[in-house]
Structure 1
Amino acid sequence: MTRTASIPTTETDAPRVGARGWAALVVLMLPVLLVSVDNTVLSFALPEISIALAPTGAEQLWIIDVYPLVLAGLLVTMGTLGDRFGRRRMLLIGATGFAAVSALAAFAPTAGLLIAARALLGFFGAMLMPSTLSLLRSIFQNRDQRRMAIAVWASAFSAGSALGPIVGGVLLEHFAWGSVFLIAVPVLIPLLIAAPLLVPESRDPNPGRIDLVSIALSMATMIPVVYAIKSLAVDGPSLTAGAWALLGFGMGYLFVRRQLRVKSPMLDMALFRRGSFSGAILVNLLSVVALVGFLYFVSQHLQLVLGLSPMMAGFALVPGMLAMIVAGLSVVPVSRRVPPHIVIPAGLAFSVAGYLIVAFTTHEHGVLPLVVAFVVLGIGIGAAETISNELILSSAPAAKAGAASAVSETAYELGAVLGTAVLGGIITAFYRGALVLPEGLPADVAHAAGETLAGAYTAAQELPGQLGTALWDAAAAAFGSGVMVTSLIGAGLVVVAGVIAAVTLRKAPSH
């Protein structure tokens, strides 16, 4: 049986919240800040983690990717459970588990155990993020206020990303890499105290029964697809990658088919027929791919190729993060007057320009082009994220805010996986293909240098004199050769996002 999505009525005249509502927003920003700080800190800590734990190239990508991979598989499930059992309750359970596992991750002795801890963080993180966005939907019923609240929510990701390199840089210069995980504890303790006092509980008044089959199918869809993408990016085309992709798409077909037939679907598929919903999700996805892919290779370029400390590399990216915050907040009054199918492509044009700056100037001119490029890129990403997230929430019925938020967060986390796996995989492939090792290297050193840039850096530090210098010069040149191609591909993804917005969001209401 095909179900029809409820079409929201005009919400500009809905009741406006007072000081308590805005205080609740501040509390809900804590987990958002934490997750964004965690992502950025880990990117900047990756060189030191690579040196300390000596992961393979595949393990290095898994350290970054397993967290969003688990989130992507569980977000829809956790969002739906939040609709049923209480969004605030899920938030508090997730915060408690996230803090505890972060403490364990800080002391992981091997790359394998760190990957396992990151997977557990993904499990509890899946409870956090849909809850924050769906609670905003229930607290801020007035759409003008909700636009601003979502702009603050989206900007919190940027603020956390801006704060992460600085805090992480200080920690990494004075303590071991594990210290970057311990920051979760002081951030989440205030949440656990204040949320029961300030954040009202909300849930779907008619949730229907729990559909265990749909839960299993949603996980069986996301995890194989993302794994196939990672396998393709790291190892190239293979029967294994194709088999995982086929399994994921097959499970996805069964998931959609079940949602269309059951009386109380886990996810109302009719929402995807609305351009303001499906188009906004694709814009969200591609914007995050561009952002995370940029941060993945730029953090390594700043620290390993240009020789900046983690703290200085963090400061180099702060102007771009601030530009993202300002753009996200400034686009709110603009979006009341200019329709989204114009605002989003105009903003993303800046992001395209940012990638082109990286492609054609970084290798010759060092740090400054990266700073300017990220400022320009951040303007477009900040505007696109604010508008796309607001459209996703406004297109769904209030009672299903958790499921809709979960779809938005799934797009975000899948974009994080794709950004690292695709753009990170491309630059890794170019690095390996362009690397010309100097003669006379021991076999184990040559293998480590051929795996990752960090491996080459460590090997070069241990080799004597001219041999170490020759190895590092070759590695830096090989890495730089992939920057242009990767940046051009990133620019192409942003162009696709702009075209999707221009085509699908024509009928989306701007007020």
Structure 2
Amino acid sequence: MNTDTTPKAGRKEWIGLAVLALPTLLLSLDVSVLYLALPHLSSGLGATAPQQLWIMDIYSFMLAGFLVTMGTLGDRIGRRKLLLIGGAAFGVASVVAAYSTSAEMLIAARALLGIAGATLMPSSMALIRNMFRDPGQMGAAMSVWFACFMGGMALGPLVGGVLLEHFWWGAAFLLGVPFMALLLVAGPVLLPEYRAPGSGRLDLASVVLSLGAILPVIYGLKDIARNGWHPLSVAAVVIGAVFAVVFVRRQRRLADPLLDLRLFVDRAFSTTLGVMLLGGVVMAGTSLVSTLYLQSVAGLSPLHAGLWLIPQNIVMIAAIVAAPRIGRRIPPAYVMAAGLAVAALGLIVQTQAPSGGGVIVVVAGLVLASGGIALPMGLGNGIIIGSAPPERAGSAASILETSGEFGVALGVALLGSLASAVYRAVLPAGAADAVREGISSAGGAPAALDAFTTSLHAVAGVGAAVFVALALLTVAVLRKPQAA
């Protein structure tokens, strides 16, 4: 592509990017704030333990389940239109959630929030594809968009703490209302409309099949992460896999499919998507085990553990923003591979953590890993969206977001299971039942601290090996431009 003749984005587009970043910031802020609000709202609504889990999980279930449908729907009916509809729905559902009078009402409101949230992220990413035609500007815009998402995760505990100190738990949900009001006012003025030409009708059978494929798998993976490998969770994953096979077969037969499988033929698209998926798996698993180490081995309170995690978020945001700039001077494949190598180094550092007093080692490893993985993430969003045809940008964005949801669920389930297996395997034969049950119930027993530290080393070692393999794959596949 000759970027010299590609039109450059102006002031209106960059201001529009700020409008698109609002829902992104809100979605991540909303998730992280809820973790702090959960004890307060559970007390206020009398929520049982299973209801608390559904309050937390139903949002991610609905979000993951409807991303593919909403990404394609935006391509067909108009991306700005769907974004504004989703923003209005999110605002209304936020008010319902804030003033819920029962746990069941809040669960229903959270489900609606998840469906509305599924309209926001693919639409906003696809609109960036339309607004920023120049590849360099598009990469920079994507990195800013993703940095806002990470910024919301970092700000969530601070904002949540302030809100819950001065207001009731419902304020955590009302936080999104002014954001969405601003989106509804500024969106029609600053954001362009785009509708893919010649789009057919939405295939409802494909929508049902996609939900049947995604929802059981996400449920099964979450249940495995929480309760271990049980017949119900494994059956859910298998059922989802069967639906996925049927879904793929149907997409191949349709003239206008819900999910265009031709996107995966593009080498840059499929390789970058795979790198980001597996990178998400590793980071989700290592973050989980690292957080458990800080609290259960190092003895930090949840608040202090959260404060120790702030540096990694800051470094990640900075690296995401810097990635496109670096990628204009150095071939992106080498920037991505270098970032993966740095991430591997960070996890190798974690393998040296002692069973006592290892906070600095664990946090330093997380900072290196987060800063390193931010480089392929910062470039990967732009590569994936940019490699898709403009009329399929919404579909590409939905695939990217869905893979992110799967990455987190897979990472927590698989690497969490690995940590549990190693923990139990290295415990002394005569360890008490409470110690064998897990580090959280071990009461600081020295054998448990040593065993969990060994499990941290195992997870970090596996993660480092995956990152090294991904670095080699990135250079091998992406260093040469793909033939037209």
With the shorter chain as reference, the TM-score category is 0.7 to 0.9
The number of residue pairs the alignment matches comes to: 479
Hey, what's the Cα distance between the residues in 1 that align with 2:315 and 2:300? Answer: 22
Indicate how the Cα distance of structure 1 residues 508 and 63 shifts in structure 2: closer, same or farther if over 3 A, else same: farther
8 Å contact from structure 1 (residues 169, 309) kept in 2: no
Q: Which moved more, 1:283-292 or 1:148-157?
A: 283-292
Q: Which residue is equivalent to 2:126?
A: 134
| Structure 2 counterpart of 1:23, from 6, 12, 15 | 15
Hey, what's the Cα distance between the residues in 2 that align with 1:359 and 1:352? Answer: 11
8 Å contact from structure 1 (residues 428, 452) kept in 2: no
Q: Which moved more, 1:67-76 or 1:299-308?
A: 299-308
AA matched with 1:31: P
Q: Which residue is equivalent to 2:352?
A: 360
- Secondary structure in 1 matching 2:309: helix
Indicate how the Cα distance of structure 1 residues 65 and 482 shifts in structure 2: closer, same or farther if over 3 A, else same: farther
Indicate how the Cα distance of structure 1 residues 229 and 95 shifts in structure 2: closer, same or farther if over 3 A, else same: same
Q: Which moved more, 1:345-354 or 1:477-486?
A: 477-486
Hey, what's the Cα distance between the residues in 2 that align with 1:420 and 1:321? Answer: 19
Indicate how the Cα distance of structure 1 residues 69 and 287 shifts in structure 2: closer, same or farther if over 3 A, else same: farther
What 5-or-longer segments of structure 2 have no aligned partner? none
Shift of 1:86: 1.4
Indicate how the Cα distance of structure 1 residues 473 and 169 shifts in structure 2: closer, same or farther if over 3 A, else same: farther
Hey, what's the Cα distance between the residues in 2 that align with 1:492 and 1:113? Answer: 45
| Structure 1 counterpart of 2:463, from 490, 496, 502 | 490
Q: Which residue is equivalent to 1:384?
A: 376
8 Å contact from structure 2 (residues 439, 448) kept in 1: no
**More relative contact order, 1 or 2 (CA 8 Å, 6+ apart):** 1
Shift of 1:388: 1.2
8 Å contact from structure 1 (residues 430, 481) kept in 2: yes
Shift of 1:306: 4.8
Hey, what's the Cα distance between the residues in 1 that align with 2:68 and 2:479? Answer: 27
- Secondary structure in 2 matching 1:280: helix
Q: Which residue is equivalent to 1:464?
A: none
Hey, what's the Cα distance between the residues in 1 that align with 2:447 and 2:175? Answer: 33
Provide Cα deviations, 1:386-445, integer angstroms capped at 9, x if missing partner: 211111111111011111111111111221222333334555666788699979xxxxxx
Indicate how the Cα distance of structure 1 residues 146 and 363 shifts in structure 2: closer, same or farther if over 3 A, else same: same
Provide Cα deviations, 1:126-158, integer angstroms capped at 9, x if missing partner: 011101100000111111111111111121122
State whether structure 2 residue 140 is matched by structure 1 residue 148. yes
Indicate how the Cα distance of structure 1 residues 115 and 18 shifts in structure 2: closer, same or farther if over 3 A, else same: same
State whether structure 2 residue 135 is matched by structure 1 residue 162. no
Provide Cα deviations, 1:441-475, integer angstroms capped at 9, x if missing partner: xxxxx79x95893xx5xxxxxxxxxxxxx846589
Shift of 1:320: 1.4
8 Å contact from structure 1 (residues 87, 203) kept in 2: yes
| Structure 2 counterpart of 1:228, from 208, 220, 233 | 220
8 Å contact from structure 2 (residues 296, 444) kept in 1: no
Shift of 1:263: 1.5
8 Å contact from structure 2 (residues 94, 176) kept in 1: yes
Shift of 1:119: 3.2
| Structure 1 counterpart of 2:206, from 189, 200, 214 | 214
State whether structure 2 residue 478 is matched by structure 1 residue 505. yes
Q: Which residue is equivalent to 2:385?
A: 393
Residue identity (%): 41
What 5-or-longer segments of structure 1 have no aligned partner? 1-8, 440-445, 457-469
Indicate how the Cα distance of structure 1 residues 61 and 279 shifts in structure 2: closer, same or farther if over 3 A, else same: farther
Q: Which residue is equivalent to 1:335?
A: 327
Indicate how the Cα distance of structure 1 residues 23 and 310 shifts in structure 2: closer, same or farther if over 3 A, else same: farther
State whether structure 2 residue 399 is matched by structure 1 residue 403. no
8 Å contact from structure 1 (residues 427, 486) kept in 2: yes
Indicate how the Cα distance of structure 1 residues 308 and 150 shifts in structure 2: closer, same or farther if over 3 A, else same: same
| Structure 2 counterpart of 1:100, from 92, 110, 127 | 92
Hey, what's the Cα distance between the residues in 2 that align with 1:451 and 1:420? Answer: 16
Q: Which residue is equivalent to 2:182?
A: 190
Indicate how the Cα distance of structure 1 residues 492 and 120 shifts in structure 2: closer, same or farther if over 3 A, else same: farther
> What RMSD over aligned residues (CA atoms) do the two structures have, in Å?
3.6
Q: Taking structure 2 as the reference length, what is the TM-score of the superposition?
A: 0.85
Hey, what's the Cα distance between the residues in 2 that align with 1:194 and 1:329? Answer: 25
| Structure 2 counterpart of 1:416, from 408, 411, 415 | 408
Hey, what's the Cα distance between the residues in 2 that align with 1:268 and 1:414? Answer: 19
Shift of 1:219: 1.6
Provide Cα deviations, 1:257-287, integer angstroms capped at 9, x if missing partner: 2222222222221221111011111112122
Shift of 1:181: 3.6
- Secondary structure in 2 matching 1:92: helix
